[in-house]
Amino acid sequence: MEIKRVFLIVLDSFGIGAMPDATEYGDEGANTIRSVAGYKDFCAENMRKMGLFNIDGITVGEKYTKPIASYARLSELSKGKDTTTGHWEIAGIISKKPFPTYPDGFGEDIISEFSKRCNRKVLCNKPYSGTEVIKDYGEQHLKTGALIVYTSADSVFQIAAHDSIVPVEKLYEYCKIAREILVGGNAVGRVIARPFSGDVNNFYRLPQRYDFSLKPPEDTVLDHIKKSGKEVISVGKINDIFAGKGISVSYPTQNNSEGIDKLSQIADDDFEGLCFVNLVDFDMVYGHRNDVKGYSDAISYFDLKIGEIKEKLGDSDVLMICADHGCDPCHEGTDHTREYIPLLIYSDSVKRINLGTLEGFDYIGGTICDMLDISYKNKKSFWDKIKK
């Protein structure tokens, strides 16, 4: 059976246990799925039937006797545990060097040039929680107009500003300036706009977050799919992560619910190629805030909706569900965690087998190219093992 449509969904940060090198990242013992599935109201029956809890190394949840999908555990070859490195590796690029991080804040040369070009002073300039930073610096920002610049354990330069002081479109301009400055050895993975609103007693982040990512250094599987004449449809922040490279059409979303609804709509459309979806709330709203209940509820909601979407798929469609890194809400700190990721592959055109543990997220992109009959020189694929 020729595959016409592939739906690849990234559950952002849904890791399934610490990788052997997790100690190098301070993540020994991290296990996002264990933390989330341990919550009392957790329910993932559709993914359980696909084989989620049958995956190597997963010790929580009830295994399914005869899974209806193929499944695997994937280890990351890239250095780091960032959104960009994870997604780029899925699409075929192995990052041999980690993106730069700034545990002590950005250097004076960076901050002074940024401040000069924006004609605004800078507040904070150190690693910080996104919700806490506006609590601690929001009032000073309102009084002075200075931009709140902060980072995290990830390779990010984040700029927060109140919409009454800096309109969102102007904040995006400041981010573009930062992106121009942060090159070479300071080429962070992402510059992120973090607009917020509210008063001193109730600041809250606005949904118009925007990521200004580096362009991939070479063509990815997305470029190969697009060049073949097939479509690459982005849902969520996929377009941002790849800086638009290899994307045919993009549908930005503000939350998981909107992303899932858009996915459902696209499943009703007639297209040929890849629909690539990122659901960011697991990471941004729950993982980074150590919100176990919220994370558990969000997975349970996704699982319910994916059961509905699955019914829309035909024989020539493939559904793939994976992650890009971990963000264990019970682990010390609030940052990403170096973990294995799950992979579920569902279709009437695939066998139901355990693929074991695969080295490299790039197996995903390579297999998609095989499914869509697209040539790709760096291809690693398990398509021959699972196709009927």
Token duo for residue 152: 């995290």
Report the distance separating Cα 50 and Cα 145, nearest Å: 52
> Which pair of tokens denotes residue 1?
């059976």
> Pick from 367, 365, 386, 369: which is nearest to 91 by CA?
365
pTM comes to: 0.90
Residues 6+ apart with CB under 8 A from 67: 49, 50, 51, 54, 352
Nearest Cα residue to 333 out of 152, 86, 205, 99: 152
Distance CA 159, CA 119 (A): 14
Q: Which of these, 214, 224, 227, lies nearest to 188 by C-alpha position?
A: 214
Average of per-residue pLDDT values in the chain: 96
The phi, psi pair for 369, rounded to 5°, reads -60, -45
pLDDT above 90: residue 376: no
Q: What is the pLDDT of residues 30-87, one digit of tens each?
A: 999 999 999 989 999 999 999 999 999 999 999 999 999 999 999 999 999 999 999 9
What pLDDT is stored for residue 379 in this prediction?
78
One-letter amino acid at 152 equals: S
Judge whether residue 377 has pLDDT over 80: no
**For 290, phi and psi rounded to 5 degrees?**
55, 35
Rg (CA), the chain: 20
Q: What is the mean pLDDT of residues 319-343?
A: 95
- 111: enclosing H helix or E strand: helix 108-118
Where does the chain show beta strands of DSSP type E?
Answer: 5-11, 70-75, 122-127, 147-151, 156-162, 190-199, 202-205, 210-213, 231-235, 249-251, 273-279, 317-322, 341-346, 354-359
Q: How far apart are alpha carbons 160 and 204 in whole angstroms?
A: 11
Which segment of 175-184, 207-216, 359-368, 372-381 scores lowest on mean pLDDT? 372-381
> Would you state the pLDDT for residue 184?
92
Look-up: residue for tokens 């990721």? 341
Domain architecture of the chain: domains with CATH: 5-93+216-386 (3.40.720.10), 108-212 (3.30.70.1250)
What are 145's two structure tokens? 């107009």
90, 238 Cβ separation under 8 angstroms: no
